Amino acid sequence: MFTKIDRYVNESFEILTSKRRDEILDSANKLISDYDRYNKSKFVVITNNQINIQSRPSTLAPFRGVGKIKLTISQNLDKTIIKCDIYPFSNSFSYIIILGLILMTIWTLVGLLISTKMNSNSWIILGVGWVGAFALTYNSLIANKKRLRNYSKGIIEKLTK
């Protein structure tokens, strides 16, 4: 729907390693089975060349990022390329922006209807509310991307050991 926003929000990077693709996928299966034994979650899907991870906060990891991580593993002659695509909020950030705009518009209309005098204090309060809402949304996006990036780098480090 909002491809420009999604292009700005999503992030990708590549890592070269000397470990073979089959070894990486075997260590991924072992890592996931160890992870599932303790967390009892089924948010990881491993296909022939991809590892899809649905990251969500839990009781034991309340500050984990919310989103989707896709690791694509391709083999060259002597090197393996791991491409990591990070989708914060699982590509639903544009809907979060729309919801925020709707709520702020309703808040503005109610604020303008309640205020009996349209003086500068009313406009200042409305302006601070709009700036605060956008700052909160933007900072949550940046913090979530950082958490997902660190989480994916930790997984890649464990896979390439």
The per-residue pLDDT for 65 is 82
The per-residue pLDDT for 2 is 65
CATH number of 3-93+136-159: 3.30.310.80
Per-residue pLDDT of the chain (161 residues; tens, 9 = 90+): 566 666 778 888 898 888 888 888 888 877 776 665 555 445 677 777 888 888 877 777 777 788 888 999 888 888 889 999 998 887 788 888 889 899 999 988 888 888 777 777 788 888 899 999 999 988 998 999 999 998 888 888 888 88
Task: Determine the Cα–Cα distance for residues 90 and 141; give it in Å rounded to an integer.
Answer: 12
Task: Determine the Cα–Cα distance for residues 24 and 159; give it in Å rounded to an integer.
Answer: 6
Q: Are 148 and 55 in contact (CB under 8 A)?
A: yes
Q: Whose CA is closest to 159, among 13, 12, 18, 11?
A: 18
Task: Determine the Cα–Cα distance for residues 72 and 83; give it in Å rounded to an integer.
Answer: 5
Give the start-to-end residue ranges of the domains of the chain.
3-93+136-159
The helix (run of H) or strand (run of E) holding residue 83 is: strand 80-88
Q: Whose CA is closest to 146, among 65, 60, 57, 68?
A: 65
Task: Determine the Cα–Cα distance for residues 85 and 11; give it in Å rounded to an integer.
Answer: 6
The per-residue pLDDT for 43 is 66
- 3-state SS, one letter per residue, for 22-43: HHHHHHHHHHHHHHHHHHCCCC
